[in-house]
């Protein structure tokens, strides 16, 4: 054996490299580490540490998961004893099953995994996981076991709790109440993803100086509404990312934004099943008044099923976003809600966002009135723009195709939804796009197929 392999630092560096090699169907990384552990005594401990560092209930092949425990008999007493011998090596444990084969044979005693740092499993077996150094946890359910778990894991920084699924409203209310109570015991959270909380939990989170990212993900059951009498104004001084996802009812989430300040927020995501015109107006207004005008860089608002109140032309979200001068990304996808974007508004928007890189505005029936000339004028105001999707009207071509173009060389992806289009002008439009946007190879919209055929030439 080479003398260099007797140096622990060198040996650990080699083994760490082996651990980064991608698995294949014939030689998974675990087999390589197991072979090294059997080679000699010097190799055994560092190889075993790496072999046991991460335990998954599913075997990973090229970022996909395959269940390995399906149909496998539970561990025998001897196998369980061997597992416990190495449990102190485990740093990451990810078991998605509600009744994992592995844990069902382990005695119910505290701190089986004393050096665990990251955990993902059902709370059914939380009595096994009380290490004080646990930093990251993903729980698949909510029950009474959450109480002692959160209390003991004082170092918990990253917590993700899957939205509970209950059979009745009372059960849902009890689970969410329990969840809110336990969240108030967490004092070092950096990131939190969980279902909707009560107002006391919101007040607790607003006082956490460590909290940087907050994701509220709604489940299939609507939570109880926030009592109006409990609502007070809050300030989340350090949160940089705020997300509301998969919501069935947007009203309570809008209420939270209306009564909160986010002076450090850089990312905002709002995703709901249905959004009425009135709710949309409240959301846009609240977002523009939450004290994030100097910091917000990314905005994404998505509604799958809008509820439009007829021809509601007062729904004009774009002016609400003029104040976000640091904006890099804006995505508005509002089904059944018209956004109404004209030339003047579009030019003012692009002049307000000199750093914009991605702009996507989707509506079910394009009602905007942006012309080709104003489109290219606006592009000149945003030299860093790389992705653009906006509705456009092409009743006439108001640009001379033979004029000297002002090229925009950053734009790579272009999608233009048409209010009107004359196929006879397809070749001329292709010439204009090719001259002004040299890095755009096609327009990503089915109605532009004829233009794209000319662009190919």
What is the 3-class SS of the chain, one letter each residue?
CCHHHHCHHHHHHHHHHHHHCCCCCCCCHHHHHHHHHCCCHHHHHHHHHHHHHEEECEEEECCEEEECCCCCCCCCHHHHHHHHHHHHHCCEEECCCCCCCCHHHCCCCCCCCCCCCEEEECHHHHHHCCCCCCCEEEECCCCCHHHHHHHHCCCCCEEEECCCCCCCHHHHHHHHHHHHHHHCCCCCCCEEEECCCCHHHHHHHHCCCCCCEEEEECCCCCCCCCCHHHCCCEECCCCCEEEEEEECCCHHHHHHHHCEECCCCCEEEEEEEEEEHHHHHHHHHHHHCCCCCCCCCEEEEEEEEEECCCCCCCCCCHHHHCCCCCCCEEEEEECCCCCCCEHHHHHHHHHHCCCCCEEEEECCCCCCECCHHHHHHHHCCCCCCCEEEEEECCCCCCCCCCCCCCCCCCCCEEEEEECCCCHHHHHHHHHHHHHHCCCCCCECCHHHHHHHHHHHC
Q: What is the dihedral of CA 434, 439, 444, 449, to 10 degrees?
A: 30
CB of 116 closer than 8 Å to CB of 89: no
Q: Which position has the token pair 């107002």?
A: 199
The crossing angle, in degrees rounded to 10, of helices 145-152 and 169-183 is 10
pLDDT attached to residue 219: 59
Strand bridging mode 58-61 / 64-67 = antiparallel
Is the backbone of residue 111 left (phi > 0), alpha (psi -120 to 50) or beta?
Answer: left
| For residue 17, pLDDT beyond 90 | no
C-beta atoms surrounding 388 within 10 Å: 25
Lowest-confidence region among 187-196, 331-340, 373-382: 331-340
- Name the token pair of 8: 């622990």
pLDDT attached to residue 64: 46
Task: Say what percent of the chain tops pLDDT 70.
Answer: 75
Q: What pTM was estimated for this model as a whole? A: 0.76
CB of 279 closer than 8 Å to CB of 254: yes
CB of 194 closer than 8 Å to CB of 161: yes
pLDDT attached to residue 379: 92
123 or 126, which is more confident? 126
How far, in Å, CA of 293 to CA of 423, rounded? 42
CB of 217 closer than 8 Å to CB of 194: yes
- Name the token pair of 19: 């651990």
How far, in Å, CA of 213 to CA of 262, rounded? 12
Chain mean position to CA 105: 36
Binned at pLDDT 50, 70 and 90, residue 186 comes out as confident
Task: Say what percent of the chain tops pLDDT 90.
Answer: 28
144 or 267, which is more confident? 267
pLDDT attached to residue 447: 77
Residue pLDDT, tens place only, 88-101: 788 777 766 555 55
| For residue 189, pLDDT beyond 90 | yes
Residue pLDDT, tens place only, 240-291: 999 998 777 788 889 999 999 999 999 999 998 888 888 999 999 999 999 9
pLDDT attached to residue 12: 78
CB of 60 closer than 8 Å to CB of 86: no
| For residue 54, pLDDT beyond 70 | yes
**Which of the listed ranges 15-19, 72-76, 113-117, 188-192 does the model predict with the highest average pLDDT?**
188-192
Four-residue CA torsion sign, 365, 310, 252, 167: negative
Binned at pLDDT 50, 70 and 90, residue 83 comes out as confident
Lowest-confidence region among 38-42, 361-365, 369-373, 436-440: 361-365
How far, in Å, CA of 93 to CA of 88, rounded? 12
pLDDT attached to residue 410: 93
Instruction: Write down the mean pLDDT value for the chain.
Output: 79
CB of 153 closer than 8 Å to CB of 134: yes
13 or 212, which is more confident? 212
**Which of the listed ranges 8-12, 223-227, 389-393 does the model predict with the highest average pLDDT?**
389-393
pLDDT attached to residue 27: 61
Q: Which position has the token pair 């300030």?
A: 235
CB of 407 closer than 8 Å to CB of 439: no
| For residue 382, pLDDT beyond 80 | yes
pLDDT attached to residue 20: 75
Which CB contacts under 8 angstroms, 24+ apart, belong to 122-126? 122/97, 122/98, 123/149, 124/98, 124/99, 125/100
pLDDT attached to residue 61: 38
If we measure between CA atoms, which residue out of 95, 85, 17 comes closest to residue 54?
A: 95
CB of 241 closer than 8 Å to CB of 271: no
């Amino acid at each position: 054996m080479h003398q260099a392999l007797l140096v622990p630092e060198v040996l650990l560096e080699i083994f760490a490299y082996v651990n980064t090699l991608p698995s294949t169907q014939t030689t998974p990384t675990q087999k390589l580490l197991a072979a090294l552990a059997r080679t000699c005594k010097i190799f055994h401990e560092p190889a075993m540490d790496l072999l046991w560092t991460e335990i998954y209930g599913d075997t990973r092949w090229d970022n996909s998961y395959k269940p390995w425990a399906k149909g496998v008999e539970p561990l025998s007493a001897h196998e369980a004893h061997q597992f416990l011998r190495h449990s102190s090596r485990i740093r990451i444990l990810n078991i998605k099953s509600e009744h994992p084969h592995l844990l069902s044979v382990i005695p119910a005693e505290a701190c089986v995994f004393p050096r665990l740092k990251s955990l993902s499993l059902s709370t059914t077996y939380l009595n096994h996981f009380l290490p004080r150094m646990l930093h990251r946890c993903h729980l698949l359910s909510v029950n009474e076991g959450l109480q002692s778990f959160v209390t003991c894991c004082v170092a918990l920084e990253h917590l993700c709790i899957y939205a509970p699924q209950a059979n009745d409203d009372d059960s849902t209310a009890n689970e969410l109440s329990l969840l809110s109570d336990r969240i108030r015991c967490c004092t070092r959270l950096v990131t939190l993803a969980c279902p909707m909380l009560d107002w006391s939990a919101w007040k607790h989170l607003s006082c956490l100086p460590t909290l940087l990212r907050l994701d509220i993900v709604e489940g299939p059951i609507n939570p109880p509404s926030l009592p109006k009498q409990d609502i007070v104004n809050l300030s989340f001084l350090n949160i940089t990312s705020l997300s509301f996802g998969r919501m069935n009812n947007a009203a309570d989430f809008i209420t939270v934004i209306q009564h909160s300040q986010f002076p450090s927020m850089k990312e905002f995501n709002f995703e709901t099943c249905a959004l009425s015109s009135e709710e949309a107006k409240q959301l846009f207004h609240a977002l523009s008044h939450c004290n994030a005008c100097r910091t917000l860089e990314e905005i994404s608002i998505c509604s799958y099923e809008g509820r439009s109140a007829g021809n509601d032309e007062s729904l004009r979200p774009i002016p609400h976003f003029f104040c976000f001068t640091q904006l890099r990304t804006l995505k508005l996808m509002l089904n059944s809600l018209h956004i109404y974007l004209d030339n003047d508004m579009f030019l003012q928007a692009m002049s307000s966002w000199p750093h914009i890189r991605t702009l996507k505005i989707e509506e079910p029936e394009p009602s905007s009135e942006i012309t080709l000339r104003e489109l290219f004028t606006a592009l000149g105001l945003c030299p860093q723009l790389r992705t653009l999707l906006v509705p456009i009207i092409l009743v006439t071509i108001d640009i001379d195709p033979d004029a000297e173009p002002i090229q925009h060389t950053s734009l790579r992806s272009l999608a233009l939804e048409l209010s009107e289009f004359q196929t006879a002008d397809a070749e001329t439009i292709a010439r204009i796009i090719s001259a002004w946007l040299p890095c755009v190879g096609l327009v990503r919209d089915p109605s532009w197929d004829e233009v794209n055929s000319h662009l190919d030439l």
